[in-house]
Structure 1
Amino acid sequence: MTRGHATARAWGRLLRLPNLCTAVADVAAGLALAGGPIALGRGALLLAAGPCLYAGGVVLNDWFDRHLDATERPTRPLPAGEIAPFAALAAGLLLLAAGVLLGRAAGRIPGAIAAAIALAALAYDAGLKRQAVASTVAIALCRLLDVGLGIAATPVGHGDLLLALPLAWYVAAVMPLSRVEVKGGPRWAPLTSLVLLMASAATGGFLVWARLFALTGGVAIATVATAAGLCLLPPLVDPSPVRLQQAISRILLGIIPLDAALCLGGERPWVALPILLLFLPARALARRIAMT
């Protein structure tokens, strides 16, 4: 491998390239849930803003964690010396700024939502991640606001963000696992994640019961959440780092079909198909680049 290829691979790992597909899927789901006409240019700006904000957040997360990672994860790009800390800091801040500017270019409301995502990501990176409840709320909020970016694509922001609540529960299920993935941990971590995944499925059912969501969407949400729950069986038996990290990656990939399921309850259910297609590059990249 040439030095240029090694550097490109290191940046791909730092940016969590497979995960960026999930950020695009979140915004696309919001576009599907939005009511009213959507200008093509506005939608494109927001589809670009989502992954910029996500990438900025994860790069800065590694920058803040670079000293801890030197002990716990020495093979990551920053502690391994593959990327200079200043370059990572600059890239993270520029990506967050780009995400906010792209959101603002789409309108005042999307700009405000993008700024809120950037602030929540910074708060998480800078210290909230050390608090179990606060970090979970921050991550779930970022994902909800990603969907909100898409909903805000309409001139007056029609659409109901409540329809994305199953996504919030689903993403929250990653956090108990991520807190113990380095050293392994007690079985309460995957068990807590399983409860949160079932809450995601139950919320989809409630939305159907409340006649806010189509039955097909509720069934799809329950199916995705249940499939993700099955991924937790190995770490429930053996909560080792390898098992936990595999479960995290599979649950993260599941965000894409979950976003597709959300589309089935919105104004544009056909958006589910292009969202599902994002699973292909995400899965291919995940085989080469770790998602955690």
Structure 2
Amino acid sequence: LPSSVVTYKIRHQQDMVDGTGQVEDSWNNMRARDAAFIDLKYTTYGFSFLQEAVEQALREMLAEDGGMDSMDSVGAYGQQEPYPCYQSDSFDVSSFLALFVVLSWMVPSALMVKNIVYEKEQRLKELMRIMGLGDSIHFLSWALIYFVLNAISIIIISSILKWGRIFPSADFSLLLLFFILFALASIAQSLLLSAFFTNANIATAFTAILVIICFIPAQLSSKMSQVLAIITLIFPQTAMGFGMTMMSVGDENGGVHWATLDQLKLDDFSLSLWEALVALAVDTIIFCLLAWYISAVH
């Protein structure tokens, strides 16, 4: 060989080696990687043995080319790292839990928009304006009504997640705050949507569809850049989806607590649960301001 530096590639069959599209030994994977046909593909399907054979042949060729005696085979030895004990829970609902939450809030959001637009459609809002009721007070009254109704759902859902052994290691107060912020953001989003419509039926259908569309980015997080993910936080449903995923991962790694709020992150990009909570609060403020402004000038 003309040089002692040799570069080569082994192109194994793609389903016989680990994929490179995601991090295999990520911090949210709590199980031991000891399944022969799933986790140990490099050994099970011969990649490591082929690599060792090629390297041994190259060493012998380089030794002979340099006038050295043939090198004895050194061989390769591999051993898995010891893995601590863990508890396997087959009841994993983290993949579709966020979708259930979105669907549970879809109907209240659509009904809220319908009721507000119905007042506008029947000229009741103009009558209240004549009587001296401002837009801000009008929106605030609807927001308080639906927040009280959502508060019942928030307590029930948080209790089920905490004591229903779904998020047993999570702080109950943190779950309450998360769903309260999501409820406020959803209410503010409904107030904003109601400012664009004058037909109650069309507004209801559009709101229901939009709620589902706003949740889609949360399901495509593995294909997003960090900048795009931050932009999609303007949708309350996406911010909630990211937050539920991070809480699910955090519960598997010791629990979701106030002390670890900024440490719960997604693997795909550096986005913490703290940032998701802030995004929900910012969404609420932005939507309320836009709803008040558009209603005043429309």
TM-score normalised by the chain length of structure 1: 0.28
Which structure has the bigger radius of gyration? Answer: 2
TM-score normalised by the chain length of structure 2: 0.28
With a CA cutoff of 8 Å and minimum separation of 6, indicate the structure with the bigger relative contact order: 1
